[in-house]
Amino acid sequence: MPRPPDQPDVVAVTGASGRIGREIVRLLDRPGRTLRLIDTDLPASTADGPWGDLSDRVELHRASIEDAPAIRAALAGASGVVHLAALSSERPWADILRVNIDGTQKVLEAARLGGARNVLLASSIHAVGFVDAASAATTEVLVARPDTYYGVSKAALEALGSVYADRYGLGVVSARICQFGAEPATGRALARWLSPGDLARLIEATLRLDDGAHHIVWGVSANAPDAFDLSAGRAIGYEPQDDAFAVAFARDGAASPLAPTSAPLDDPIGGEFTDDEHPLGSTF
């Protein structure tokens, strides 16, 4: 359902001070929009924060996604929500359950009660870590095959997004983020890069949705050699513009490690997280 014409453009970002939030918040700042930045660790003012120059259309809310009343207050009146807050790597099950799964449910419930129309959920490649590389390149939406408890939490996040879309008409995008960074790494990581600019484009595509449905898409830039099927993202208006190979070549020239760029086709895309060296629940 489209946002009513009289509803203010208020975009709330959970985990705004985190590794991803500090890169993309400034890219979401625009005239006519209020950014509501939510985290447990926030500066006294935006001038002291990690986001660079921001307009005065910014609100800071110190709140934990584990605290239902606090997160409901923080999301009240938000038209769109970008949910980044989470434990970002493998942890013992009790921690994953408390923060990543229960916390996501609290965010979606608060978004619904607060009147949000659209939500982007930060999922992960680890929700499908046991899928082979060939399937990732040729399948529009992969069935969940998580490689860790962390991956299970992202599969659960996607399931929660689905039920809130179907029950309440929220427009939800679960973005399976692969390797986010200001610049691409090297070797196989090139094919998995998601640039800040492209994540911002994916968020804007989410905020424009008017179908009240759930979509699972790859959080990946337009990297050669097409290691991921990006058709689901393009179907909702996400058109990535950055290419890790072009960036790496401009940065490193002839020294740029353009190959190998992806795992062998029969290898799981979760890589080392699928092997015995990374047991479930270990913080590695």
Euclidean distance between CA atoms 90 and 137, whole angstroms: 25
Euclidean distance between CA atoms 181 and 190, whole angstroms: 11
| CA angle, 241 then 247 then 253, to 5° | 150
Q: Kindly name the residue from 149, 150, 164, 238 that is annotated as catalytic.
A: 150
Euclidean distance between CA atoms 115 and 134, whole angstroms: 40
168 assigned to active site = no
CB of 154 within 8 A of CB of 245?
Answer: no
Closest CA to 258 of 170, 187, 183, 171: 187
Euclidean distance between CA atoms 89 and 72, whole angstroms: 26
* DSSP structure class, residue 3: P
Give buried/exposed letters for 53-68 (b at 16+ CB in 10 A, else e): ebeebbebbebbbeeb
Closest CA to 71 of 101, 43, 106, 102: 106
Q: Show which residues are catalytic.
A: 150
